[in-house]
Amino acid sequence: MAWPRADGDWAPYLPTVRACYRELCAAISRHAPVLLLSATPEATAQELAHLGTGLLRVWASPAQDTWTRDYGPITVLESRGPEGEAPLLLDFRFNGWGGKYQAGGDNRATAAAWHGGAFGLSPLEPVGLVLEGGSIESDGAGTIFTTSSCLLSPGRNPQLDRAAIEAALIAQLGARRVIWLNHGELCGDDTDGHIDTLVRLCDPGTLAYVSCDDPGDPAAAPLQRLEAELQGLRTAAGGPYRLIPLPWPQARFAPDDGRRLPATYANFLILNGAVLVPSYGDPSRDQAAQAALAKAFPCHTIEAIDCSALLLQHGSLHCATMQIPAAVFQ
């Protein structure tokens, strides 16, 4: 994760968003240690000292934004021959969601943390492909989900066509197949359709996805097409996916310019024995989303985190985090 900077995009909402990050750090630390990037590491560590040094590590970072899902390392297991498998951290290039925003500090953040010792002795491999973590979903068994609108957008890898991008994903991530989704969009989204705002893998045969039952909402038709697309997909074993629809959040709007904010319950975070689910101050829909995910994760506890503040910069819970396997630090 990355602590919101006082001189960054969060400045107008700093007390509110830092309160959200404190709650998020506390919730995650009940299940896993937290590695936190910060422009002011000493002050940040002091503010979060109640979590304990065993559960929180703070590292100095040039990161400008807090969306570590998109510029943090993506971990794969690399074969080491007789030694078995070991984690490899992939540092894909980040260019501010297709050049929409300045991203130099964010693009350097993973390498800076690695050089500072944040990831133990695990190797880091720079990758020239522009890729955000929120743009892919993996089932851990050879299948990658992504969206055409994001990975084929001209601001990311304009020199590559779909076949070349798919080949790169298979080579870098050890996948056997890539499923491209062509429908679904959220009002207010500035990522060109990240998969983690629309469809999530709960296990290799189960998909949770955003649905909209309000025919007057602009997202209704695209999300209905997405649902039909998912119904036609097949697992690697050849059967249909088990589909779990998530409710459509009540519309939220930016306080400064009135723009629709991209609220979504699909932006949940899977932890060790728990699933953190974003809530948005709408009890009926919040509870419906938690109930749906309880069916998808019967062996996990479901915990709600109010992520209303994160919407103000067009993200939510999953966007604000990047999981690192424990083996990285061993």
CATH number, domain of 60, equals: 3.75.10.10
Contact assessment for residue 169 and residue 200, using Cβ atoms and an 8 Å cutoff: no
231 assigned to some structural domain: yes
Q: Return the minimum-mean-pLDDT range out of 229-238, 253-262, 308-317.
A: 253-262
Query: Are the CB atoms for 250 and 287 separated by under 8 Å?
Result: no
Confidence band for 81, pLDDT divided at 50, 70 and 90: confident
Q: Is residue 3 part of a domain?
A: no
Other residues' Cβ atoms within 10 Å of the Cβ of residue 254: 14
> In the predicted model, what is the mean pLDDT of the chain?
96
Tell me if 132 is assigned to some domain.
Answer: yes
Q: How far apart are CA 314 and CA 216, in angstroms?
A: 22
Give the predicted TM-score (pTM) of the model.
Answer: 0.96
Least confident of 43-47, 51-55, 246-250, 285-289: 51-55
How far apart (Å, rounded) are the C-alpha atoms in residues 83 and 33? 27
Q: Look at residue 82 in the predicted model and tell me its pLDDT.
A: 80
Residue 271 lies in a domain: yes
* Residue 319: active-site member: yes
Q: Which of 20, 25, 307, 319 is catalytic?
A: 319
| Amino acid making up residue 234 | R
**Which residues form the domain of 261?**
11-329
Across the range 2-17, mean pLDDT stands at: 96
Task: Evaluate whether residue 245 is within a structural domain.
Answer: yes
- For residue 118, what are the contacts with CB-CB under 8 A and spacing of at least 6? 35, 57, 59
In the structure, what pLDDT confidence band is assigned to residue 55 with cuts at 50, 70 and 90? confident
Report how far apart the first and last C-alpha atoms of the chain are (Å, whole number).
20
